[in-house]
Chain A
Amino acid sequence: MRRLGDRVGMAWAWGSSLCLLLGLGTLLVVLVTRGAPAVGPGLLFGDTAPGDAVLGRAPVFDGIWPALMGTLALVALACLVAVPIGVASGIYLAEIAPRRRRALLDIGVDMLAGVPSVVMGLFGFGLILLMRRTLAPSATTGLWLSALCIALLVLPYLIRTTQTALDALPESLRLVGPGLGFTRWQNLRHVLLPAAGRGILGGVMLAVGRAAEDTAVIMLTGAVWNAGLPAGLGEKFEALSFRIYVLAAEYRDDMQLAQGFACAFALLLLTCGLLASAHLLQRSLERRWKA
């Protein structure tokens, strides 16, 4: 009887794991084979000459270049806001905050991490309506609003990874500074932060990946189907994830359908690439201090 239980458990574990690998493999194969017809010079730029498109001299239609640029602009802006705040909060939580305050802030960060992205988008949309009725009657949804909401969304990732990177440092390292007569601050700046740098960078990568994949936030705060290259903070923009969403519901021909798969594959490469680099950075940090 016990033997049987063991065997069932074993079979279940093997089955689940093989299913997982099989499923992931299928997903990749599907994306590549179905997206392949769209791969070509037209995928990025449509009918527009590549030189003109890259330099922004001529608008691109039917290509994913503006969406790719839109996603990059969005991610860069969001990180510009989130990285300083997130990393600083993480340092504060890990090194400075008194115990009780730390516990309280930890709960806050947990809750922020729990905000569903569509709710974050709704928050942004409501914010605009409120601003228009009060402070800024001409405020409108656009790149800046999406970037702000995405920044809030990825903030917890940055805080947590910074905190974890600092917490993971060995106690011996913490004693180096005071031993040399450093103040707590000097120790933090010259010993601990440089040591935790890779882990923090890993957190940034993680945040970038998360910022690039989100759809629900930007759908409510300024992404549109057709806008050309991102042109300014207050302007509407295109994004890869939003393009995939629209194509899913209303592709007009086989070429657009294939483009949807190609777009999905491109986004997948982007986010998984970032995730992998984050992972490698964090691993190298761990190894360094465990050795």
Chain B
Amino acid sequence: MSCVRTTSLLLVVLALAACGSDKRAGPAPSPDLLPFEGLEGTLDIAGGTAHIPVMEEAAKRIMTAFPRIRITVGGGGSGIGIQKVGEGLIDIGNAGRPVKAKEQAKFELTSYPFAIDGVAVVVHPSNSVRELTTQQARDAFAGKITNWKDLGGADAEIHLYGRDEASGTRAVFWKKLLAKGAVATSANVVKSNGAMKTAISKDEHGLGYMSIGRIDDTLAAVGLDGVAATQETATDGTYVVTRRLFMNTRGKPSELAQAFIDYIGSPEGRAIVAAQGYIPLATP
């Protein structure tokens, strides 16, 4: 008997909760979200892993205000972003590097840069090495220097971490810091900026590189040639290993994709970009 009562009570509560949502609890959507009014359908986003927190937060706000819109966010790396959007498998392909001429010739993509981001050498917070010269960094990643004591640290083996082939972070780091030089094949390969952060924050002797926007206090950025690796130095041009973050569409974007791109460039979108650690660009 009491079982039946509990069940019916539960049902009533569920029904009430469901009814409540019709009025969309919470404040009215901000003006920057208004262009999504009346739109519906799915927007598939994938690619650059530095972008993911920004995309997720934007998707969360849009979908909460307009439940008929469905936004999926995948990772994979810049290479996958460009390839998949070029093949038409997704609507927006993110990349942490510009589209290469070869890719452009094949896919005819439109790029929307929306943020500036640096790529920094990172170590475990307990590591005393916080400063390297460009040459030291090159030698370490090439596997010529294998002990932290040769970089001014403790006597311990360097555990190298690098990124996968699809990574835009890797492409930028390799071009701008390593000058397209050798990279040790003994380096562990991780698949995203998030994975690099997790790996280095757990490995006391780890050495890797990642998007400055995603660095927090679980790991430490290493300065290069006397310049600290921060978004400020990246913006004013003193830190050189920088890139822009792009969204890419094939040809003209769909209405929903266009609205999303506009939203990332709106004041609210730029606030999200800034809150996730990147320097928003004026208009995407």
Contact = CB atoms under 8 A, between A and B. Distances in A.
B139 interface: no
Contacts of B191: 249
Contact of B21 (A49, A137, A235, A251): A49
Interface in B42-56: 42, 44, 46, 52, 56
Contacts of B75: 225, 246
B192 A236 contact: no
B228 interface: no
B251 interface: no
Contacts of B70: 59, 227-228, 231, 235
B144 interface: no
Contact of B87 (A54, A129, A228, A251): A129
A57 B15 CA distance: 12
A59 B68 CA distance: 10
B87 A132 contact: yes
Contacts of A280: none
B3 interface: no
A226 B67 contact: no
A236 B44 contact: yes
Interface residues of A, number: 30
Interface in A187-210: none
B74 A51 contact: no
Given A52-B21, A132-B87, A250 B195 contact: yes
B244 interface: no
A224 B74 contact: yes
B191 to A, nearest CB: 6
A51 B18 contact: yes
Nearest to B17: A51
Given A138-B88, A249-B195, A61 B18 contact: no
A140 interface: yes
A140 B88 contact: yes
Contacts of A288: none
Given A141-B89, A249-B194, A59 B63 contact: yes
Contacts of A55: 18
Contacts of A67: none
B17 A226 contact: no
A59 B60 contact: yes
Given A138-B88, A249-B198, A250-B198, A224 B64 contact: no
Contacts of A132: 87-88
A59 B59 CA distance: 10
Given A51-B13, A249-B191, A227 B72 contact: yes
Given A249-B190, A252-B194, A50 B17 contact: yes
A228 B90 CA distance: 16
B16 interface: yes
Interface string B1-42: 000000000000111111011100100000000000000001
B73 A225 contact: yes
Contact of A228 (B46, B63, B74, B197): B63
Interface hub of A49, A55, A226 (most chain B Cβ within 10 A): A226
Contacts of A158: none
Given A225-B75, A249-B191, A57 B21 contact: yes
A132 B17 CA distance: 44
Contacts of A52: 17-18, 20-21
Contacts of A141: 89
A61 B60 contact: yes
A128 interface: yes
B36 to A, nearest CB: 14
A18 interface: no
Contacts of A276: none
Given A52-B21, A225-B73, A250-B194, 7 more contacts: A57-B67, A59-B63, A128-B89, A140-B90, A141-B89, A228-B70, A231-B70
